[in-house]
Amino acid sequence: MAGFRKELSAKLKAELPAQLPAYLKNQRWFGAKAREIRTAEVVDLMTLHRAGVNGIVLLVKVEYKGGGDDLYSVPLLAAERGGSGDGAAGKDATGSLNVSGRNGEEGLVFTDALKDEKFLSLLLDAIEKGLIFSGEAGELRTSHTLSLQETGVSGSLMPRAIKAEQSNSSIAYGERLILKFFRRLEEGVNPDLEMTGFLTEKAHYPHTPQLLGALEYRNREGRPMTQGILQAFVANQGDAWQYAMKSISSFYNEVADASVDNSAAAGQKDAGRTSIGEFLESVALLARRTAELHLALASAPAAEDPDFAPEPFDAKFREGFEQALQELTRRIFYQLRKAHDHLPEGTKKKAEEILAEEDHITQRFHTALSKPLNALRTRIHGDYHLGQVLYTGSDFVIIDFEGEPARPMSQRRLKRSPLQDVAGMLRSFHYAAHAPLLAATGTVNITEGNKLNLNGWAEVWTKWVSDRYLDEYFKVAAGAAFLPPTRAEIMSMLRLHLLEKAVYELGYELNNRAEWVAIPLEGVSRTLKSANS
């Protein structure tokens, strides 16, 4: 086996670099499609073999023109190549990878192993048995919790890849287990593994999937990189975003011809609020689950678990946080100025108004962070929005604790105010309110005559939902050490994070969806106005 791996490794390292850039750019999980790849190098290889399965896991270092690099995990399945046997590597580099054979023999073709049921079963079996797969520069280690041992069901579960546009790959095993396989690896323990482990094994928070096992790559120095996590599968009716979309679409179709501004507006608003009463109660439940999550994350004693113990907002942290916010603002507003002429006509005026507020925004950040903050910092979700919550039909389950994937691992593990998560959910409500009007999905009857009116109702809906969420959140979290002692201080910190989030969203939309830039622009505008009121 060692000889085979050595020979195979030499061929892969020699023949794949020319094929990998095209292959990677064709994969939905590859996160740098807009960047030009300078080199792609195989830095390690683990072989995973059993009857009927010839699998390997490659670690590929990708370097980009202009600087920077990433490390990607690429699991592949090997088979003999049919056809003419001409040995031409790269024949179909976007869908498979090829290596030549010896002495006129057929070569090998490699395809995505996570689409193969036998390979997926092998992964689960390895986790259950705690197997280790050695490579040249490190090893792939598997582990499991006692809870997985107690289930004893892995061998009977049919695996299936979950098809979704995401940066990781997810595999369901029956309706019992789900494996999240991280494609881009970073040194250190992934926050998703760390957080779900703490919540399920120490804090006993019941509204997140139970941690059952893990895959971890360790290099020769013993430094870990989280490769995957195995969790209990949560039966659900979709995520909270999908649930919100159904409610909003129904609401808009009901009020489409009802004016927000005429003399009967008060009565119409009362009727509209009544029509979403059931959804408002669901929002209150989501707020309770959020507050309970934050209380659980703040529960670790410093002596027992320093990685989770709450810490003060000391001067050093506030200074670093302010510098990060100032840099974020400068970068995003530079992008906005460059993109101005290419924005939709209806967005340009609002963009000009916000551009004129740059100094005001940076001053807001300075004012908020230049004085002591009477609250504790804790671990938080870090990328909290409606898409990170599953709706079971009667409750909510919070998922995906890895933080914003674009941020370095060290930043994602920082302790911050739980109000950052609250701000993320409030911004998600604002997005949800406008999404049916921008996406034109067909579920909302939009005409030229009612479009302006529906935009007005979107703001009304956002306020109703946000107010209900905040009321319930603060009721459950009242007195927590991570909240400032007065309502004025709480709202000041919340506005800080709302402004941070809207500026961050502005950069995202400028890079991805120019037609959606109006939403974060309005978010910045609303937050600045609320700070002045």
pLDDT digits (tens, 9 = 90+) for 3-23: 556 778 888 999 999 999 999
| CA–CA gap between residue 517 and residue 511 (Å, rounded) | 10
Q: Are residues 457 and 415 in the same domain?
A: yes
139 token code pair: 């090893």
Query: Which of 217, 232, 247 is the C-terminal boundary of a domain?
Result: 232
Query: 125-172 pLDDT, tens per residue?
Result: 999 999 999 999 999 999 999 888 777 665 678 999 988 767 899 999
**Domain end marker among 171, 204, 232:** 232
How would residue 88 be classed by pLDDT, with cut points 50, 70 and 90?
A: very low
Q: Taking the model in full, what pTM does it have?
A: 0.89
Residue 286, in any domain of the structure:
yes
The b/e string for 173-186 (b: 16+ C-beta within 10 A; e otherwise) is beeebbbbbbbbbb
Do residue 418 and residue 471 come from a single domain? yes
Residue of higher predicted confidence among 91 and 441: 441
Does one domain contain both 357 and 409? no
The H or E element containing residue 97 is: strand 97-99
Same domain, 173 and 227: yes
Q: Is the pLDDT of residue 391 over 80?
A: yes
Mean pLDDT check: name the lowest of 14-28, 275-289, 297-311. 297-311
Instruction: Look over the chain and give the mean of its residue pLDDT values, rounded to a whole number.
Output: 89
Residue 71 to residue 190: CA distance in whole angstroms = 14
Mean pLDDT of 413-422: 96
* Whole-angstrom distance, CA of residue 254 vs CA of residue 431: 20
What value does the mean pLDDT take over residues 260-277? 63
- Per-residue pLDDT band for 271 (boundaries 50, 70, 90) equals low
**Cβ-proximal residues to 47 (8 Å cutoff; 6+ apart), any chain:** 1, 4, 5, 8, 55, 56, 133
The confidence score (pLDDT) of residue 263 equals: 40
The answer to whether position 292 is within a domain reads yes
Give the pLDDT mean for 367-383.
95
pLDDT-derived band at 500, boundaries 50, 70, 90: very high
Work out the pLDDT band at 238, boundaries 50, 70, 90: very high
pLDDT digits (tens, 9 = 90+) for 164-196: 767 899 999 998 999 999 999 999 989 999 999
- Residue 63's H or E segment, with its range, is strand 53-64
pLDDT bracket for residue 74 (50, 70, 90): very high
Instruction: Report d(CA 151, CA 175) in Å as an integer.
Output: 13
Task: Answer whether residue 442 shows pLDDT above 70.
Answer: no
- pLDDT for the residue numbered 278: 92
Given pLDDT bands bounded at 50, 70 and 90, which one contains residue 33? confident
| Residue 382 forms part of a structural domain | yes
Write down the pLDDT at residue 304: 81
For residue 258, the model assigns a pLDDT of 74
* Beta carbons of 131 and 110 less than 8 angstroms apart: no
pLDDT score for 6:
75
| 360-371: b (≥16 Cβ within 10 Å) or e | ebbebbeebbee
**Is the residue at 463 inside a domain?**
yes
The least confident of 87-96, 108-117, 205-214, 487-496 is 87-96
**Tokens linked to 520:** 């974060």
Which structural domain range is residue 503 located in?
Answer: 312-375+485-533
Quick one: pLDDT at residue 511? 87
E strand residue ranges, 233-321:
311-313
Lowest mean pLDDT among 23-27, 219-223, 354-358: 219-223
Note whether 109 and 183 are same-domain residues: no
Instruction: Assign residue 195 the CATH number of its domain.
Output: 3.30.200
What's the pLDDT score for residue 147? 82
Total of domains in the chain: 4
Domain annotation covers residue 15 = no
Share above pLDDT 70 across residues of the chain, in percent, rounded to a whole number = 91
Task: Decide if pLDDT at 301 tops 90.
Answer: no
In the chain, % of residues over pLDDT 90: 69
Question: Is the pLDDT assigned to residue 397 strictly greater than 90?
Answer: yes
Does residue 371 sit in the same domain as residue 509? yes
Q: Does residue 505 sit within a domain?
A: yes
Are 145 and 211 within 8 A, CB to CB? yes
Residue 160 is classified by DSSP as E
Same domain, residue pair 390 and 472: yes
Buried b / exposed e over 438-466, threshold 16 CB at 10 Å, is: eeeeeebebeeebeebbeebbebbbebbb
The answer to whether residues 250 and 326 belong to one domain is no
The CATH number assigned to the domain holding 409 equals 3.90.1200.10
Residue 93 pLDDT > 60: no
Q: Which of 83, 113, 143 is the last residue of a domain?
A: 113
pLDDT at 470 over 50: yes
Confidence band of 409 (pLDDT split at 50, 70, 90) = confident
The one-letter code for the residue type at 94 is T
The encoded tokens of residue 230 equal: 């195995």
Structural domain contains residue 247:
yes
Closest CA to 439 of 297, 292, 252, 314: 252
Task: Please tell me whether residues 240 and 193 are part of one structural domain.
Answer: no
Q: Are residues 132 and 97 in the same domain?
A: no
Above 60 in pLDDT, residue 94? no
Are both 306 and 415 inside the same structural domain?
yes
Does the pLDDT at position 272 exceed 80? Answer: no
Instruction: Clarify whether residues 89 and 200 are in a common domain.
Output: no
Q: Looking at the domain assignment, is residue 273 inside a domain?
A: yes
